[in-house]
Structure 1
Amino acid sequence: MLQSASIIDACRLSRAIIKVFRHNDLEDLEILLRSTAGDKIVITEGVFSMDGDFSALDKICCLAKEYNAVMIVDDAHGDFIFGSPGSYSGVPGYFDVKGMIDVNVSSLSKGLGCFGGYVASSKLVRELLINKSRQFIYTSALPEHLSAAALAAVPLAEKGNLQHRLFRNVEFFYKKLTDLGFSINNSASQIIPVMIGDEKLAIDFSSELLLDGVFVQPIRYPTVGKGKARLRLTVTSLHTKGDLLT
């Protein structure tokens, strides 16, 4: 499972007992919930940042509710991209489980194209974070112009025009890559891992692409497992067909 580094770091900093369930494995999650006494928190991403696939968020939320666990989702890669027209509230909106999320952690730098991030939660959790979170307290506030840019981007995202262009580009690029024989795992989003396998070969691929004016980062061990190196591509709504065919 390729969980985001921010989730891993947050879990470690919490000093809680950490139990990891297998990727989207609901049976494994239920076993852990059933066998854990006391307060419980379930944390997952909305869109997984290395493979581009969705979490089974609707079913995970149901299990969290059944076992009285706090539900936290990091939807940095799904927010303002997926959901329903008029809101595009990310993977929780896509699965219609917004009311089952206790804490929604997200980014302003992905779907909105700005900078920074936010936490959406109850007033009680918000006050707790403001007064107790060292990462918040000892971090400089966002400059006013960046906050204003993010606020201005929200109504543009809610219209859905850019999302439709993005989804067309993603579908087009999926087909071109698979027609060429590349494996993109189970990606269902704008994050597309082109699986290479060998670490050196992934670096060589990246270097050759850069010579042609295409900047693609090779992702390799220890960010991913040994032998699972890949080129991590991200399609945007502003890419043209010509860009994607380069």
Structure 2
Amino acid sequence: MTTKSAFYDKLNADLDALRAKGQLRSEFELATPQGAEITLTDGTKLLNLCSNNYLGMGNNPEVIEAAHGALDRYGYGVAAGRMLCGTQDVHRRLQRVIADFVGLEDALLYNSCYDANGGLFEVLTGENDAIISDALNHASIIDGVRLSKAKRYRYASCDMDELEQSLKKADAECSGIKLIITDGVFSMDGLVAPLDNICDLADKYDALVAVDDSHGTGVVGATGRGSHEHCGVMDRVDIITGTLGKAIGGAAGGFTAARACVVEKLRQTSRTYIFSNAVPPSIAAGAIKAFELAGEGGNARTALLEKTSYFRAGMRAAGFTIGGEGHPIVPVMTGADDVTFGLFKEVFANGLLVIPMTFPVVPRGQGRIRVQISAVHETTHLDRAIEIFTEAGRKTGVI
């Protein structure tokens, strides 16, 4: 057997093992826009509780109209990176809108938040510096940190004692800057990081604070500015990365917001920015409108949080263990992987689209069905979801 054939045999064996365990993931092909109810290309109709479309911007008529206008004005795409001829006025306007929205001096657009995180750390930190990272940070942060030559420290998620010990070690072992990086909202749990406590420790040990707020922007905080607003530290966080692919329209694109000198340094040297095409102008224009609506969207956020509380209470009353706190990410805890997939298959067969989360996405033994509530859900949708979950939970022994 050749090395090449052994390589393919190994891949097929790995896939067969996942298939045998019922853990081979599939992509669902939608034939309709995002919404509370969707239809797959095979005609299957489902109640949709797995989208990041928190504020319903994914098919908001005003957002679509703004995108259409930019498509007519600027064309389909720019066919160039920003440093070539790929920057249009709509990109600059969106960057200003983002900076103002999150309360920082300037912002830079990327094609995704994955790219924003991937292009951040190697630019801002070097071998004499330290990066202190929450253990449950998103994969994009982990991959971005790997590109830096800085010394790395990891603390147990939201554990301020471990964070302080890491800062002390960094003080003793590094002569440069210390950068704390955390998710603002942890995507598997819907928990908001204790940014007030993190900023207190950052002040004590003279460290910078960076936050990936992909699940916070537009959703949490009194005016939807994000987790730093929610925690009362809008003037104390140094860097925010985020996405346009969730509450802000759900299309594509990400950003880094910070002081102007940080943004300019990234513009000049961030590889994921320089060597990528610009975000399509239609997406940029749609995002501008989505930020505008999010800034005015107190009623939508209030309704979203009320629906989230309603669903959490209903699921707990049915006997389920629910993780997280008040975010529209609602983890239905299941434990073992086979139990998780068993519950998923039952609810899917009864018309509910949710996603099972198992190892390695979450720690072993902490499997869950991640439900995500949207402003487009009505109480009748949530009642139906609770009913489907309850029947499936009894059948599978989860409750």
Where on the TM-score scale, by shorter chain, does this alignment land: which range? over 0.9
> Following the alignment from structure 1 to structure 2, what is the Cα–Cα distance between the partners of residues 56 and 234?
22
The one-letter code of the counterpart of 1:19 is Y
Q: Are 2:187 and 1:49 aligned?
A: yes
Q: Could you say which residue in structure 1 is the equivalent of 2:328? A: 190
Q: Which residue of 2 aligns with 1:20?
A: 154
Native 8 Å contact 2:305 2:326 kept in 1:
no
Counterpart-to-counterpart distance in 2, 1:180 and 1:12 = 43
1-structure distance, mates of 2:290, 2:324 = 30
Distance in 2, Cα, partners of 1:187 & 1:13: 33
Shift, 1:15, TM fit: 2.7
Of 270, 273, 293, which residue of structure 2 is paired with 1:133?
270
> C-alpha separation between the residues in 1 aligned to 2:267 and 2:335?
43
Superimposed CA distance per residue, residues 58-93 of structure 1 (whole angstroms, 9 cap, x where no aligned partner): 1101111221111100111111111223xx211111
Task: Give the corresponding residue for 2:238.
Answer: 102
| Alpha-carbon distance, 1:12 to partner | 1.1
The answer for the alignment partner of 1:235 in structure 2 is 373
- Are the counterparts in 2 of residues 2 and 49 from structure 1 also a CA contact under 8 Å? no
Instruction: Give me the identity figure in percent.
Output: 34
Q: Which has the larger radius of gyration?
A: 2
Report the equivalent of 2:259: 122
Taking the aligned partners of 1:60 and 1:72, their CA distance within structure 2 comes to 10
Equivalent position of 2:16 in the other structure: none
Using structure 2 for the length normalisation, give the TM-score: 0.59
The count of residues paired between Structure 1 and Structure 2 equals: 244
| Residue of 217, 236, 248 corresponding to 1:112 | 248
Measure how far apart 1:10 and its partner are.
1.2
Task: Answer yes or no: is 1:224 the counterpart of 2:358.
Answer: no
Provide, for residues 107-126 of structure 1, a one-character-per-residue CA deviation record: whole Å limited to 9, x for no partner. 11222123211111111111
Query: C-alpha displacement at 1:232, in angstroms?
Result: 0.7
- Using the alignment, how far apart are the partners of 1:20 and 1:204 within structure 2? 34
2 CA distance for matches of 1:139 and 1:219?
31
CA distance in 2, matches of 1:221, 1:187: 22
State the alpha-carbon separation in 2 of the partners of residues 140 and 213 from structure 1. 39
TM-score with structure 1 setting the length: 0.95
Aligned counterparts of 2:147 and 2:322: Cα–Cα separation in 1: 33
**C-alpha contact 1:187 1:193 (8 A) present in aligned 2:** no
Higher RCO (CA < 8 A, seq sep 6+): 2
Distance in 2 of aligned mates of 1:81 and 1:221? 27
Q: Does 1:153 align with 2:290?
A: yes
Corresponding position of 2:382: 244
2:333 counterpart SS class: strand
Cα displacement string for residues 105-155 of structure 1 (whole angstroms, at most 9, x for unaligned residues): 111122212321111111111112122221222222111010000100112
- Say whether 1:6 aligns with 2:140: yes
Partners of 2:167 and 2:318 in 1: CA distance: 43
Amino acid at match of 1:109: G
1:188-237 deviation digits (Å, cap 9, x = unpaired): 31111111111122112212222222111111111111111110111011
Q: Distance in 2 between matches of 1:2 and 1:68?
A: 23
Distance in 2, matches of 1:221 and 1:179, equals: 27
